[in-house]
Amino acid sequence: MRLARLSERSGVPVATIKYYLREGLLPPGRQVNTTTAEYDEEHLRRLRLVRAMIQVGRVPVAKVREVLGHVDDESLGRTIRVGAALWALPQVPEPDEDDEYVRAAHREVGALLSTLGWENAKQLTTISPAYRQLVVAVAAFRRLGYDWDSELLVTRARLMHQAAIADLDFLETHPSEEEKVAAAVASAVLVEPMLQALHRLAQEEETARRYGFE
């Protein structure tokens, strides 16, 4: 399969594929001669993953390269590879540790993890991007003056834990072993927009039930 065909089958413009090749998001094709390179089904799969990450997951190109680097790093164990790949996903800006709301949010999230018994997550607070994002979001909420019951956060966390369990169960049963790392990345990148969409749809449904369309 040559470039034009790869473009046709993926729906990605030729110029964009060339850009991805240049950026190292896609391995080069097998060079047949000076003016021809051959691509295979694996290139197509990778291209679709790249597109999904960029267009659906809104992952910046540089992050995609970083994530894929971990996915392809066969020197690491699977858990580490998945972790490294997921942690390379885009992050919220660093919290300002001098801000009082940020410090309060650290305490609040720490208490949350204790309540939940997420002992592993507690060990990751200094390094996990997800932990930092949570702190930033909680701090922003408080800064706006909203004052919720800590129970609300616990409820949401339990719901997301159930979602995560379902995700991991799916990963365990379905994809072939060699694909697990890529599947984990695809899952993280695509499940999140999916959950977000479901959340908004559910809100629309529930709002209409309570208040009608007026």
Contacts of DNA in 50-109 (CB under 7 A): 54-55, 60-62
Scan residues 147-206 and list those touching its own copies (CB under 8 A): 147-148, 152-153, 155-157, 159-168, 170, 174-175, 183, 186-188, 190-206
- Selection from DNA, its own copies, none that 209 binds (CB < 5 to 8 A by kind) is its own copies
Residue among 161, 167, 164 at smallest CA distance from 116 = 161
Regarding 164 and contact with DNA (CB under 7 A), the answer is: no
Strand-pair partners of 31? 37
Distance, CA of 97 to CA of 82 (rounded, Å):
29
Distance, CA of 66 to CA of 190 (rounded, Å):
18
- Classify the C-alpha dihedral 73-74-79-80 as positive or negative: negative
DSSP conformation class of 57: S
Regarding 34 and contact with DNA (CB under 7 A), the answer is: yes
- Selection from DNA, its own copies, none that 200 binds (CB < 5 to 8 A by kind) is its own copies
- Using CB under 8 A, pick the residue from 83, 84, 104, 115 that binds its own copies: 83
Stretch touching DNA by CB under 7 A, among 12-20, 97-105, 119-127, 185-193:
12-20
- Selection from DNA, its own copies, none that 33 binds (CB < 5 to 8 A by kind) is DNA
Nearby residues of 190 by Cβ (< 8 Å), 6 or more positions away: 52, 56, 57
Regarding 2 and contact with DNA (CB under 7 A), the answer is: yes
Nearby residues of 53 by Cβ (< 8 Å), 6 or more positions away: 59, 64, 67, 185, 189
- Selection from its own copies, DNA, none that 210 binds (CB < 5 to 8 A by kind) is its own copies
Distance, CA of 195 to CA of 164 (rounded, Å):
11
**Letter for the amino acid at 135?**
V
Regarding 84 and contact with its own copies (CB under 8 A), the answer is: no
For DNA, the binding residues (CB under 7 A) are: 2-4, 13-16, 18-19, 21-22, 28-29, 31-37, 54-55, 60-62
